Structure 1
Amino acid sequence: MADLAFLWHMHQPDYRHPDNGEFRLPWVLLHAIKDYTDMAAHLERHPHIRCTVNFVPVLLDQIEDYADQFATGCWRDPLLRLAASPRPECFTADERQWLIDLAFRCHAPTMLEPFAPYRRLRDLLLHVRSHDGEALDYLSGAYFADLATWYLLAWSGESLRRAGGVIAELMAKGSGFSLADRQALLAELGDAVAGIVPRYRALADDGRVELSCTPAGHPLAPLLLDFNAAREAWPDCALPAAPEYPGGRSRVAEHVAQAVASHARRFGRPPAGLWPAEGALSEAFLKQVGEAGFRWTASSHGVLKHSAGNDARTTQAWQAPDGTPGDLTLFFRNERLSDLIGFEYCRWHGRDAAQHFMTEVKALHLQDANHLIPVFLDGENAWEYYPYNAWYFFSDLYDALEKNPGIRTVTLSEAADSQRARRARLPRLVAGSWVYGTLSTWIGHPDKNRAWEMLCEVKHCVDRALDGDRLGPAERADVIRRLAVCEGSDWFWWLGDYNSPQSVASFDALFRENLKALYQVLKLPLPSGLDHPISRGGGEPESGGTMRRAN
């Protein structure tokens, strides 16, 4: 019997302004009401499916922040504040422009075009703009109330729509949403957000899902440990001027320890497995993963090929290289099957896609009945490109898997146990990630390297401050918390001339705001470079916060 091991990775970076806690972008909220709810619903409806779901602590922190906003009505997300406003006719010009800039950011073929009232809001805006830009002032408060409402409805999950509550009623109503309508919608969305962690914990407690973690702030650990790790798979990589990230080993250890504590607090037990941020591993990081007591970790086929040759296969588990503490099992994703789900099947009819996936899995099963089939990807970013948020794809796929006696879905801890006797020893591990098998997405470009240099500069200041007695206990804790945010991988991902200008500008600005806040807590003057953008950006915009990755 072949083992099919899904890993669904859930991650969004910290979108909160470091000073006031305001959410600069709403992607955690939108993925929460659309994807985290739907992915739980699919598993609840298919009790014989086993899989691994990975949550990053920085995402869970923000989900809890949103749950608190819904519970208290103290809105720190402008989208929710505008949706809850009793007087939309009093929106300021800046609020109106902000909502217009945001409220059509989605994959239009699946999330806007199917809904005539939402299309009318877009078409009305286009009509007004085509005649006179100043005519935007004539759009009424009712227009903006409906726009905020429809944006939340468009991002609501298929499971919420099918529950037959307020969301379905408002979608049927279509327009003219009253304050009572919007309050009812916010109440229903608040219940959905508050239920995310308990639902996944219940699935784990029932043994149907394994929950794993990522280091707390989603740092690119191999580079925190050694910039030269980038040259293992890309020898010509240009490195930052700074020779290293100071104190990287202790910082990675802290992110790992915080992740374990976060996981135990929220899910009732420590995690057995760790999915590294961006699937990025190095031998130095593997040693820290082993020292922390994890049973398994994972990366991509590209990393495996660089480490063990082009013939190395993902269809077995691997034992970590000699010198790795503990007994750490490594998994490497099947890139073809993972990318079919992440990028290709959204263009197919759901049933055809599910049947094709099953055919591919059966072909692997015929080659070796004891094969492991590891399919790892985002559990959030691909589904907006599917009709009905991939509802029919998952229904047909999970149904087919439950009925197939030759394919068994397993968690990665179960796979580690069943594959133990078949493991081969990995001769070495060449540092890389699940993007091209290298670290090039986070280092090597002048803008990315400049960001690393800015981070190294503030880290030296942090170390000096923590070594002295200028800061009290609360200030020291605040410094460490803010530093962890600055160490996140997403700041470096988005910098460069091949990403969306809109997203590059947002992440560039928020990264610099976090650095500024750190200097201010340290009671140090701000370097002049923090007032100037790092990158100019380029490419086409993405709608969902984090690029739809091949993961």
Structure 2
Amino acid sequence: MKKFLFFLLTTALLSQPKLEDGYVVFKIYAPEAKKVAIAGDFNGWNRNDFLTRDENGFWTGKFKIKPGLYQYKFIVDDKWITDPGNPVRVENFNRTDYNSVFVLSYDWKILLQSEPDARANLEDIYPKTNKIYLNIIWHQHQPSYIDPERDELRGPWVRTHGTKDYYDMASILEKYPDVHVTINLTSSLLLQIEEFYVKRLKPYVNLERNRVDAKRYFKDGVRIDPWIDLMLKNSEEFTEVDFGYLYKNSWNCFSVSEVVLDRFPEYKALKEKNPNEYSISDIRKIKFFFYLANFDPDFLNGKVKLPNGLIVDLTDLIERREGKYYLKKEITEDDCNRIVAETFKVMSSIIPVHKKLMYDFKTRKGQIEIITTPFYHPILPLIYDTDVARICQPFDKLPQRFSYPDDAYMQVKKAVDYYHKIFGRKPLGMWPAEGAVSEQVVSIFVKNGIRWIATDEKVLSNSDPKGLPFYFPYRVDEDTIKGNNNENGSLLIVFRDTHLSDAIGFVYQNYDPEVAADDFIRYVLSFAPEDSSEERLISVILDGENAWEWYRKDEDGKGFLNALYRKLSKLYKEGQIVTVTMSEWIYGNPDRGIKSHPIIEHTEIEPLWAGSWINANFDTWIGEEEENLAWEYLLYVRQDMEKLNVKSPKNFESPKPGTKRYYELKAWESIYSAEGSDWFWWYGEDQTGLGGDEPFDEGFRTHLINVYKFLQKAGYKVETPEFLNNSILRLR
């Protein structure tokens, strides 16, 4: 009886898991147990992560976990149990049992949150409120996987998200004309879509036959990404290099989330099979499934008509039964070839569908405001001057100062120019990579004609004046025009609602889609002003790609998005929630009852806090040993370019291939690519990639090595530093 009372007391006090010294710590009281393990999303449901017992009968384990939502269970003497110290649980993926669940937020807090009462609010009944404006921004981004020397992409992720996310996140809005959103398409993403997957594949795709001329493709030496070659090559001719891309390398044909894998039982069985036992048929299916599992469910469940009139229909290959997909036939090499043609059709429709729905603030037509990001997605304030991190990270050790304002300017200018090339106009807004802002970079945006940017509400709370509510936009003035009331020298900033944005990214993945959409709507309405003359703007900003593959009760988040847009459409008609783009907010749209809000009329922030959307600082990209070493590498190479006096680009130049200037510009593209935030994101203990961090480390160093290779081809007498051949991850 004493043991039982002690058990009740201790589990009540635990209220776990807890965060201690950067580790997520789990405890369970099981004094009679011989062994205790923990398995969950954070360790791939590995049954062999055993906990350590102390003299009082407590078993403890600690894990380095990146922010996100996680399900887990303890395994006590081979018996699976939910966490008695965590009252929050959710149905597991198969809805046969329950798992414990918690959220680790990006501001490093443990959140225990279960699904609300699981009722589908099909009537969409909400309390009557005054009007509130909603600014939804979907951020679509991939880093530059381009290896300039090999002239191919090192990773397949632009393509996989292209067929799974980038097309349908825009096309879905056609069904909801009263819903207006903003989509951010980064330059590095657009470049890889257009230059590699569209222009390079187009000459080899026969749209009438729906096939690719593989023989001519290989004869011409076309390079796109290695997984395209894998599909067009006969599986019986695979080499060890091919098998690396198939299943041996960090990035391979099984690089999908466990949630996605569970929806394709035959695919999952192949992953669990001993590779030594793979048959040619197995190999063919593995590469085929890697493509198929990355098609949006709309393409798997029926015919989809693309903007150019082409049809994508995969229903002759696969069928859906009880929420899972099964092959309808034995897969052939011809089927694999066809999937590449289907991929081309979708990839070539991504930009056209955005153009079709693009909002024009002058004509007030369209639904989607399209914005972009500094070209290679750099943390712009750190490219300008890494010492700015001393403001928000005063106790962190920083690397030797990296300060290249001209590089920061070119990252923005290149993005504006490339956007203009693709869309025929210049962007009005930008999502600074990772919402990273500082006073220093305001003038760069202003000089390039950008009228508004966005970041996180935690940046606002650290800016002056203090105490400003996040549901209003604010103005920041360029240093040179302060006090002049010059509209052209001001920049409008909106601030991300952290709670709601993170709910979509981490919390709703375990909700019924109707319940999730209902929770979203009720939260937004809770901010509606009591005074009908007051206007409030809620901004929701997050990736429009990565969250959906983890939605367990809702395939690819489609149920949630359709429910959300349906509810927003009804509330627009009732005058309660008006989805608005920032160009509509600034310049007005009388057709939708939106008045103009000139930038100069907004309250000024002075000074703007230097920070990002994570923790209102830059500690995800600088301050840890690995991150600092990467900055030292980047500085070394950038200083070498300075010493050699390599003429920097001033605009888009098109020198003749093979000339000195051609290779100089190639070197500049390599250094700009290495300045991207994604490489620094994966260094350190705070982030870990699905396939490990090594491919990103290799990608970063490859860009730096290529600087020297191109300078050598340009005729410069320079040697590649030996240290660039050594992994930063192995040097820590």
Report the TM-score when normalising by structure 2: 0.69
Which residue does the alignment assign to 2:636?
457
Is 1:384 the counterpart of 2:534? The answer is no
Larger % of helix: which?
1
User: Contact conserved, 2:472 with 2:537, CA < 8 A, in 1?
Assistant: yes
The structure 2 residue matched to 1:152, chosen from 279, 291, 298, is 291
Contact in 1 for aligned 2:402/2:631 (Cα 8 Å): no
Q: Is the 8 A contact 2:461 2:467 kept in 1?
A: yes
Partner of 1:117: 266
- CA deviations 1:488-532 (Å, max 9, x no partner) are 111111111333374321111111111111112222212121121
User: 1:478, CA displacement in angstroms?
Assistant: 1.6
Distance 1:157 1:68, change over 3 A: same
Q: Distance in 2 between matches of 1:468 and 1:424?
A: 42
Aligned residue for 1:167, secondary structure, equals coil
2:383 aligned residue (217, 220, 224): 224
Relative contact order, higher structure (CA 8 A, sep 6+): 1
1:499 matched to 2:693? The reply is no
SS at match of 1:311: coil
Which whole-Å CA distance do the structure 2 matches of 1:324 and 1:296 have between them?
18
Residue 509 of structure 2 corresponds to 346
Q: How does 1:10-409 map to 2 (within 5 A)?
A: 10-64=140-194, 65-71=196-202, 72=204, 73=217, 74-85=222-233, 87-101=234-248, 102-109=252-259, 111-123=260-272, 125=273, 128=274, 136-164=275-303, 165-172=312-319, 173-174=327-328, 176-204=330-358, 206-241=365-400, 243-245=401-403, 248-308=404-464, 311-321=467-477, 323=479, 326-367=489-530, 370-386=535-551, 387-404=554-571, 405=574, 406-409=576-579
Q: Deviations over 1:54-103 (max 9, x none)?
A: 11111111111112343234342121211122x21221233224312422
Partner Cα separation in structure 1 for residue 342 and residue 289 of structure 2: 15
Deviations 1:107-140 (A, max 9, x none): 222x1212232233223x2xx2xxxxxxx34422
Letter in 2 for 1:506: P
Comparing 394-403 and 171-180, the one that deviates more: 171-180
Distance 2:642 2:366 in 1: 43
1:428 paired with 2:587, answer: no
> Following the alignment from structure 1 to structure 2, what is the Cα–Cα distance between the partners of residues 537 and 354?
46
Distance 2:224 2:446 in 1: 39
Q: State the alpha-carbon separation in 2 of the partners of residues 315 and 202 from structure 1.
A: 30
Distance 1:459 1:289 in 2: 23
Distance 1:310 1:339, change over 3 A: farther
Identity of aligned residues (%): 32
- Cα distance, 1:335–1:296 mapped onto 2, change above 3 Å: same
Aligned equivalents of 2:268 and 2:631: distance in 1?
A: 43
Contact 1:495 1:535 in 2 (8 A): yes
Cα distance in 2 for partners of 1:393, 1:324 equals 46
Cα distance change on mapping 1:36 and 1:333 into 2, 3 Å = same
Amino acid of the structure 1 residue aligned with 2:493: L
TM superposition shift of 1:158: 2.0
Q: TM-score, normalised by structure 1?
A: 0.90
Q: Which has the higher strand share?
A: 2
The amino acid of 2:236's aligned partner reads: E
C-alpha contact 1:70 1:186 (8 A) present in aligned 2: no
Q: Report if the CA contact (8 A) 1:234-1:438 is conserved.
A: yes
Contact in 2 for aligned 1:10/1:54 (Cα 8 Å): yes
- CA positional deviation for 1:455: 0.8
RMSD: 2.1
- Alpha-carbon distance change, 48 to 481 in structure 1, aligned in 2, over 3 angstroms: same
CA positional deviation for 1:323: 2.6
Equivalents in 2 of 1:446, 1:306: separation in Å? Answer: 26
| 1:328 alignment partner, SS class | strand
One-letter code aligned to 2:557:
A
Q: Give the AA of the match of 1:226.
A: D
Tell whether 2:720 aligns with 1:526: yes
What is the deviation of 1:174? 4.3
Which residue of 2 is the match for residue 485 of structure 1? 673
SS of 1:364 mapped into structure 2:
coil
**1:261–1:221 distance in 2 versus 1, CA, 3 Å:** same
The 1:170–1:118 alpha-carbon spacing in structure 2 relative to 1, beyond 3 Å, is same
Unaligned runs of 5+ in 1: 129-135, 539-551
Quote the Cα distance in structure 2 between the aligned partners of 1:60 and 1:466: 31
Secondary structure, aligned partner of 1:522: helix
Moved more, 286-295 or 471-480: 471-480
Structure 1 residues 537 and 342: CA distance shift in structure 2, 3 A: farther
Verify the 8 A CA contact 2:227 2:245 in the aligned structure 1: no
SS in 2 for 1:319: strand
State which drifts further: 65-74 or 254-263: 65-74
Instruction: Give the letter for the 2:422 counterpart.
Output: R
Which of these two proteins has the greater Rg computed from alpha carbons? 2
- In structure 2, stretches of 5+ residues that fail to align are 1-130, 205-216, 304-311, 320-326, 360-364, 482-488, 588-595, 649-658, 713-717
The alignment of Structure 1 onto Structure 2 pairs a total of residues equal to 522
Question: Please, which moves more after superposition, 176-185 or 187-196?
Answer: 176-185
Amino acid at match of 2:237: C
Q: Structure 1 residue 464: deviation in Å?
A: 2.8
